[in-house]
């Protein structure tokens, strides 16, 4: 049973380019969460999605960031016109439909570096 998969593991972009981060949840999991970890800081919630729906995006920056979890395929976190401050580790987590206690299982992360 494969865990949460994220790709790429490392992504380098120049300022102004777009970054696309992909997350495949664990088999049977229909809830996906994205978190960001800045250097020397803890993980910060960004967005919570279920299939084809955004449930909570209270942690997402208002501009340049978007997320989707289509009916088929992985969840995508998209950052347009990246800036140096976007450099961070981005983690995806998933949980099963019946996660009453909200246990979340994390992927290995994508480390984004903006030059």
Partner 1 sequence: TQLLEQSPQFLSIQEGENLTVYCNSSSVFSSLQWYRQEPGEGPVLLVTVVTGGEVKKLKRLTFQFGDARKDSSLHITAAQPGDTGLYLCAGVFSNTGKLIFGQGTTLQVKP
Q: In whole angstroms, give the CA distance from residue 43 to residue 18.
A: 22
Task: Considering the complex, state which of residue 9 and residue 15 has its C-beta at the smaller distance from partner 1.
Answer: 9
Could you tell me the smallest distance in angstroms from the CB atom of residue 80 to partner 1? 23
Of 17 and 113, which CB lies nearer to partner 1 in the complex structure?
113
DSSP 11-30: EEE-TT--EEEEEEPPTT--
In sequence order, the β-bridge partners of residue 101 are none
Q: Which is nearer to partner 1, 14 or 42 (CB)?
A: 42
CB of 73 to partner 1, least distance (A): 21
Task: Give me the residues that bind partner 1 (CB under 8 A), please.
Answer: 4, 6, 31, 33, 35, 41-45, 48, 55-56, 58-59, 91, 93, 101-109, 111
The smaller minimum CB distance to partner 1, of residues 5 and 17, is found at 5
CA-CA distance, 103 to 94, in Å (whole number)? 8
What is the nearest approach in angstroms of partner 1 to the Cβ of residue 81? 26
Query: Exposed, middle or buried by CB within 10 Å (0-12, 13-18, 19+), for 26?
Result: middle
């Amino acid at each position: 049973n494969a865990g949460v998969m994220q790709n790429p593991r490392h992504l380098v972009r120049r300022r102004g380019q777009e970054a696309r981060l992909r997350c495949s949840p664990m088999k049977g999991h229909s809830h996906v969460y994205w978190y960001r970890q800045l250097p020397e800081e803890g993980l910060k919630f960004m967005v919570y999605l279920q299939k084809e729906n955004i449930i909570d995006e209270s942690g997402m920056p208002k501009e340049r960031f978007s997320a989707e979890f289509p009916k088929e395929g992985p969840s995508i976190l998209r950052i347009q016109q990246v800036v140096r401050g976007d450099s961070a580790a981005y983690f995806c987590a998933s949980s099963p439909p019946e996660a009453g206690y909200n246990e979340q299982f994390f992927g290995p992360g994508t480390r984004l570096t903006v030059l």
